[in-house]
Structure 1
Amino acid sequence: MTTPPDSEVPADARYPQHTGVRPPDAPTGEPDDETVAPAGRSFLGHVGAAVRELVIVGAIALLLSFLVKTFLVQAFYIPSESMESTLVKNDRVIVSKLTPDVIGLKRGDVVVFADPDHWLAPEPSVNRGPILNAVTKGLTFVGLLPDKAEGHLIKRVIGLPGDHVVCCDAAGRLSINDSVIAEPYVKAGEKPSQITFDITVPADRIWVMGDNRGHSSDSRLHDDTGDGSTGSVPVNLVVGRAVALVWPVQRWDWLSNYSATYTHVPAP
């Protein structure tokens, strides 16, 4: 019988190693790589991989939260009644960090700023124990908890650099650059100011007042020189503009700067 040439011999017969079976002359101690399935991952291996993934995801979330808090928005508690009825004590607000560096300040903006010069009395810190204190500080630092506003105040911008702000006229009204202002945000029953003043806001500073005029330690109470140089707040201390009231949920609202109130005010 004639043996067929190699080209007519089936490939499986010529190269038995491609069939997934062991050739007759293969060493018995050599496993066939193509027939051995990879070993399954152990339970501990699965747990370890899951933990690593959670750590990575958590680290990314913390980093993103920190970046958002540092450059975009941050949550703050309202520490006092000075902004009633717009904001009440223990409200939470979202503050845009784009103001004032990217978006300029406007009259009527509600802003958070660092204490200019001991406006705030020291407040005793709440001790929750070393572990909870550290966790709270850490979560606040990365932006996952609202800032308690320690060392910060929140007020409304009334005068911009160069503005001539006066209170009060014969009718008890406030004026800016000789234009009388009707202030709809002032708490009902409160006068525009019980303290008289006549100041020109220095360059790179703002004049701020609380909406609860009779219960707000603002620019008026710290104007020791009477010319606005001490009562006004340096613009570089402004953290940002409060744009939304987010807690409690039943009071959720956007915070207006009442731009229509100031449209008729001329430039200084």
Structure 2
Amino acid sequence: MKIDLTGKTAIVSGSTAGIGLAIAKGLANAGAAVTVTGRTQSRVDDAIKTIENQVPGASVDGVAADLGTAEGCNELIRQKPDCDILINNVGIFEPKPFFDITDDDWQHFFDVNVMSAVRLSRHYAQGMKERDWGRIQFLSSESALNIPSEMVHYGMTKTAVQSISRGLAKVLSGTGVTVNAVLPGPTNSEGVGNMISNIAREQGVSEEEAGANFVKENRPSSIIQRIADVEEVANMSVYLASPQASATTGAALRVEGGIVDTMA
């Protein structure tokens, strides 16, 4: 299978590092013109340079905006009014005891992880519907199904975006626009990588061993028994963005190493 996205435009929210950057790079490698986003211009510029260095001839630009706010989403829309592929990847996570999660914490997680995707999808889906082609993805998580007791507020947001994904797919029924959720498990993104580095230092072990220990202790049902690479998640996303994935919509595609102990 050769995925060719030449002539397509893509926006990947929260794509200056981790899974988002890997997806942006994968889409650019398939020929799409990609817009990366981040909260600061320096991070956006660094991401653009990374993609240009790793994907010769890549068509890539960027927008600096805080997509956890309505103003930030409006700024992205102002600079990029249309796209063919929207990857709602921007998100935050933080382990925190339930009784310590404040109202402000709940609202902040909802604004960044959920409302960013709602606002962007509400705008870009309309143009996709008019053109009768488009791809929208919501980056959810295995935590949408296995709500983690150590970060209930995070799990709630990932369940929410999975629900929105399914509903929006129905809204766009009969069109050439597909909407899907992607559910990664523990992945070696920037945030998780920093967490594993801290664990390695505390335990006096290598980062590889710390990662394996984390999976065994916190996600013991994992079948692959390791933390995934960002490229492994990006590969699923690039496929879902392709013309070949035209019959896949309203789905929750799992890239979580078998942590969720169901076959459905």
Higher strand proportion: 1
Structure number with greater Rg is 1
Instruction: Give the TM-score normalised by the residue count of structure 1.
Output: 0.24
Higher helix proportion: 2
Instruction: Give the TM-score normalised by the residue count of structure 2.
Output: 0.24
